[in-house]
Every structure is written in structure tokens, then in C-alpha cells.
Amino acid sequence: MDAERELCALKLAGCLPPELVAHAAEEMAREREEAARVLYVAATRARDLLVVTAVGDERHDGWLGALSPALYPPPERSRDPETQQPPGCPPFGMDSVAVRPPGTLRPAGSVMPGLHRPEAGSHRVVWWDPAVLKRDVQESVGLVQHRLLEADASGARSEEGIRQHAEWQAERTRVREAASQPSLRVVTATEQAASVGDEELSVAVESVGPDGARPHGKRFGTLVHAVLARVDLDADRPGVETVAALEGRLLGATREEIAAASESVERALAHPLLRRAAVAARAGRCRRETPVAMRLPDGVLVEGVVDAAFRDGDGWTVLDFKTDVEITGRVEEYKRQVALYAQAIERATGVAARGVLLRV
């Protein structure tokens, strides 16, 4: 356990981390210390009588092992109890083990049932004879219920209990109904953009589309987005290809998809908007993959992640990258989405912001 780094090494599927193997002795010491703490808490909770399970034939190591000196008599007195009928107990037999195979000899030091003085402490310990215990006794539930009814012959207590239970049920229903109503409704910018009606939006749509055919599909779109999110805005072709190769490997993309993504990102980086973003980035005025949130007039909280936003002489310019497959038939919806991002940034910074959809 590394409390400072909030790390814990555990055995998993029969395998141990090297750190746990190297510090096995320390971990065992900690386990023993923890067992001692748990045992202390358990033992000191007893007020009048402490019942402990133990084996009369021998002492066993374990978390109860620390109590052994306070339970077991010295070996030379293990068969010589002060009495075999302690106060409040029935007469005991000669063996503290319930079942012993025929012909098996009792080991030296086996404790005889009775009242013993242990090795440590001035108290006394009663070693019970398991033969006199009534084991596997089933509780008579019907008898208990009958006694409860006899104690409330007039029915006053039961009626009061019914009333209190009805009140509890009513309060429980009220609390659950109140708790089922969300105190805050949160939607993504994508969901909000898809749900609102058609309104006039001042969002520009720019394009750096491919010169010819290229791969399509969700994986390719995800790859292009991932490269645009991580590549340096001033990166050259080798730099773009390095990032594309890494992201493509993570996504399991084909060579054709990686090559096409590199070309698409290189064209996007050459677009005037991203050249302005690169200049702003060098001045510390560009944000990429930045989460934003905004509360609408109806109380709904809209949240999303902005692909890129930069500030220059024209205020904030908010960019949202879309591939041709993504944007087909959904231009207005995506314009509403980037408009929400621009509105959130303008409200948060107090500086005018405009949104741009950039097709890559």
C-alpha cells in the first residue's frame, strides 16, 4: 500500500506484482498488525463474557493466535483443571474435541474440559465440552410469535406499530418521489443541437476536403479527430505522420487510413484558420479539446468538448472539425452545436465568439 500515491498492489489470478514480492515481509508485518488491531477491538467489546473458538489439541496460528496465552493453560496443567463443573455449567467429560477417530491417542498438551488458569493473566477460562452442547438446534419461530401475541393481548401495541409503519411507508414514498426528480438536467451539446428547431445561425462552414477518393467510416473519422487533437499546429509532414501512425495503431487503422488521415490533417493545418490558431497558440491564446458547460434559460445544463478555440483581434473563433461522412445531411445540426460552444465561451470570457465548421 502506497498511501502517498494512492496505490495498492494485490495478488491477481495467482500472479504477484514485483513490488509485492520485493516487500512481502513488510506486507506480512502489516497484515499481522492489522489482525492484532481487529482482534483487540473484537475482544474488548465483551462486557461480561467473551466466547472464543479454539482447538483443544493444539494451538493454531492465525488472527486469534495472539489470544493463545490468555486461553491455553500451560501444557503440564492442560489435563488438570481446577474443576470439571464450573459455576453455571453442566458436568463436563474428559475431551474438548467433539469427534476423534477410534484408536487415536490424544496429543500431549490436549486441554481437558473444565475451569483452567491460562498461561497469561489472573482470569479463568472455561474450556467447554462439545459433547454436552445441543448443536443444530432450530429456533421455534411459532412459539416466539405466540409469546409476542400473549404480551399484547389488547392489541394496543400492534395497532400502534401498524400506524407507525403506515406513516413510515408514506414518508418513504414521498422521499422517493422527491428524490426521483432531478435537481439538474444535463445534456450534451450534440443532444441539444439535435432537439432544437431550425433557427438562423451565423456559423460559417469552411472546407479543406480531399482532392480525390479516400477511406470513409467511423474509425477513419475518429482517427482524423485524434490526430487533429494531438498534433502540433506548426507540425510538418513527418510530424503529422508520426502522430497519425501512433493514433492509427491505437485504433487498429489500416495503412491506407493512416496515410489518408495524414494528408487530411496536413491540409487542415495549412488552412488560414488553423494558421491563425497556431499564431494564437504561440501566444497562449488557443485552447484544444477543452470541456465547456453552459446553463440555458430553461435551466438545462449543456456540456461538451470544443475541438479548438483561439483568440486574436477578432475575438474568439471556435472550430469544430467534421469529416465529409459525418457532416453529410447534418450541417444545420452541427452548426447549432458549434454555436452552443461559441455562446458558452462568449458568456464565460465576456469576449465575442463566432463558430466555424471546418470540413476536413
Question: Does position 17 have pLDDT exceeding 80, yes or no?
Answer: no
Cell of 191: 443532444
Q: What is the CATH number that goes with domain 182-208+285-360? A: 3.90.320.10
Does the model's pTM come out above 0.85? no
Helix (H, G, I), strand (E, B) or coil at 206: strand
Read off the pLDDT of residues 79-114 as tens digits, 9 standing for 90 and up.
999 999 999 899 999 988 888 888 888 888 899 999
Q: Where do the domains of the chain lie?
A: 46-132, 141-179, 182-208+285-360, 210-270
Cα–Cα distances in angstroms (integers) from residue 119 to residues 116, 168, 262, in the given order: 9, 54, 80
Q: Residue 189, exposed/middle/buried by CB under 10 A (0-12, 13-18, 19+)? A: buried
pLDDT at 214: 81
Contact assessment for residue 41 and residue 35, using Cβ atoms and an 8 Å cutoff: no
Q: What DSSP assignment string belongs to 243-302?
A: HHHHHHHHHT--HHHHHHHHHHHHHHHTSHHHHHHHHHHHTT-EEEEEEEEEE-TTSPEE
**For the chain, what's the residue count?**
360
Provide mean pLDDT across the span 251-278.
93
Contact assessment for residue 327 and residue 345, using Cβ atoms and an 8 Å cutoff: no
Read off the pLDDT of residues 140-185 as tens digits, 9 standing for 90 and up.
666 666 666 666 667 777 788 888 999 999 999 999 998 888 888 8
Read off the DSSP letter of residue 238.
H
Contact assessment for residue 226 and residue 321, using Cβ atoms and an 8 Å cutoff: no
pLDDT at 285: 94
Contact assessment for residue 214 and residue 260, using Cβ atoms and an 8 Å cutoff: yes
Residue with cell 475541438: 307
Read off the pLDDT of residues 332-346 as tens digits, 9 standing for 90 and up.
888 999 999 999 999
Q: Residue 286, exposed/middle/buried by CB under 10 A (0-12, 13-18, 19+)? A: buried
Contact assessment for residue 84 and residue 92, using Cβ atoms and an 8 Å cutoff: yes
Question: CA-to-CA distance for 237 and 157, rounded, in angstroms?
Answer: 85
Backbone angles phi, psi at 10, to 5 degrees: -130, 155
- List the beta bridge partners of residue 253: none
Average pLDDT score over the chain? 87
Read off the pLDDT of residues 259-271 as tens digits, 9 standing for 90 and up.
999 999 999 999 9
Q: What DSSP assignment string belongs to 153-188?
A: TTSHHHHHHHHHHHHHHHHHHHHHHHHTS-SS-EEE
Contacts of 260 (CB under 8 A, 6+ apart): 210, 214, 215, 220
